[in-house]
């Protein structure tokens, strides 16, 4: 079966693990070839994409390194063709409340979560313009509206990413590129488990309408929809896929 994304090339930053890995697998299952930029090896993702029969390129790239991300964009173009879909997913979570957070932690969080999305978007913009159906999807967080105190730099960075999504949509509409965000609740990934606690998972489920822990597939389905032709008239939106923990 051809799939909704047949013939497209999708780039997923931070696609070696967690939500990014599931997004890569799901986009491939809908027919897209996949490129992953991650500081960690993408071997597992490579295997998952191979099972779908799609092509895969996984490179060790630090998305805060401007030269590295531009070189990666050139390799993607050479090996898979021009990118149609960019998922800005890579992130770090450094937990500290305002009184304890250091300037280095604040800057590191913004460097990966915000500058990384900015640099990846700059690097892939020529490809996305060429696509005719370009898609930029930023992975953000519903914690922006339900901020736990120790997430001061993370929530602030996700707020910046929400703003970037909004203004980028206005900038790029003339090039037939849509720009949207997906805001997840607390998702069961190795990083979330390592940086929080089971009690925090339970507390989060309590504030959701849907009384179960969110899984990566709850995010990847929304990303796939936004990447598809069905979402051609949606832009500048943050789709809050959080089981109803925020009621804006
Ligand atoms: N897990 C959650 O509870 C949750 C909730 C809401 C939103 N999110 C968002 O979803 C996305 C994925 O989260 P996750 O839990 O899967 O995290 P994760 O840590 O499992 O995955 C993040 C990936 O980004 C990579 N990465 C980190 N710094 C990088 C850099 N400088 N350059 C390239 N790659 C880099 C990591 O190696 C990792 O593979 C993030 O944007 C996160 O903020 C997560």
Tens of pLDDT, residues 23-74: 999 999 999 999 999 999 999 999 999 999 999 999 999 999 999 999 999 9
Average pLDDT over residues 181-186: 97
The set of residues, in sequence order, having a beta carbon less than 8 Å from that of 141 and lying 6+ positions away, is: 154, 155, 158, 183, 184
Is residue 189 lining ligand 1, measured as CB closer than 6 Å?
A: yes
Position 192 in a domain: yes
**Distance from the alpha carbon of residue 174 to the mean position of ligand 1, in angstroms:** 30
Position 174 in a domain: yes
- CATH number of the domain to which 61 belongs: 3.40.50.720
> How many Å from the N-terminal Cα to the C-terminal Cα in the chain?
39
1 has a pLDDT exceeding 70: no
Domain span at residue 199 reads 9-241
Position 1 in a domain: no
Position 247 in a domain: no
How far is Cα 118 from Cα 162, in angstroms, rounded to an integer? 12
Position 183 in a domain: yes
101 has a pLDDT exceeding 60: yes
The set of residues, in sequence order, having a beta carbon less than 8 Å from that of 164 and lying 6+ positions away, is: 114, 117, 118, 138
Position 90 in a domain: yes
189 has a pLDDT exceeding 70: yes
Domains in the chain: how many in total? 1
By the 8 A CB rule, do 180 and 130 touch?
no
Number of the ligand 1 atom closest to the C-alpha atom of 142? 6
Band (2; pLDDT cuts 50, 70, 90):
confident
The set of residues, in sequence order, having a beta carbon less than 8 Å from that of 192 and lying 6+ positions away, is: 18, 186, 201
Position 34 in a domain: yes
Is residue 92 lining ligand 1, measured as CB closer than 6 Å?
A: yes
Distance of CA 138 to the CA centre of its chain: 5
Band (248; pLDDT cuts 50, 70, 90):
low
Position 79 in a domain: yes
Is residue 64 lining ligand 1, measured as CB closer than 6 Å?
A: yes
Q: Output the pTM of the full model.
A: 0.98
How far is Cα 78 from Cα 88, in angstroms, rounded to an integer? 21
């Amino acid at each position: 079966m051809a799939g909704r994304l047949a013939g497209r090339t999708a780039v997923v930053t931070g696609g070696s693990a967690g939500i990014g890995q599931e997004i890569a697998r799901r986009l491939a299952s809908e027919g897209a070839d996949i490129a992953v930029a991650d500081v960690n090896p993408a071997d597992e993702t490579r295997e998952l994409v191979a099972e779908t029969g799609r092509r895969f390129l996984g490179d060790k790239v630090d998305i805060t390194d401007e030269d590295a991300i531009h070189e990666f964009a050139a390799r993607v173009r050479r090996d898979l063709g021009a990118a149609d879909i960019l998922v800005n997913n890579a992130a770090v979570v450094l937990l500290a409340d305002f009184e304890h957070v250091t300037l280095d932690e604040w800057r590191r969080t913004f460097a990966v979560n915000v500058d990384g999305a900015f640099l990846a978007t700059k690097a892939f913009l020529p490809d996305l313009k060429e696509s005719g159906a370009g898609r930029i999807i930023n992975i953000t967080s519903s914690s922006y509206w339900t901020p736990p105190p120790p997430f001061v730099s993370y929530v602030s960075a996700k707020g910046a990413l929400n703003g970037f999504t909004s203004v980028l949509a206005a900038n790029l509409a003339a090039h037939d590129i849509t720009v949207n965000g997906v805001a997840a609740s607390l998702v069961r990934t190795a990083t979330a488990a390592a940086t929080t606690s089971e009690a925090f998972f339970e507390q989060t489920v309590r504030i959701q309408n849907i009384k179960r822990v969110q899984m990566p597939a709850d995010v990847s389905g929304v990303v796939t929809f936004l990447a598809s032709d069905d979402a051609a008239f949606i832009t500048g939106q943050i789709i809050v896929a959080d089981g109803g923990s925020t009621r804006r």
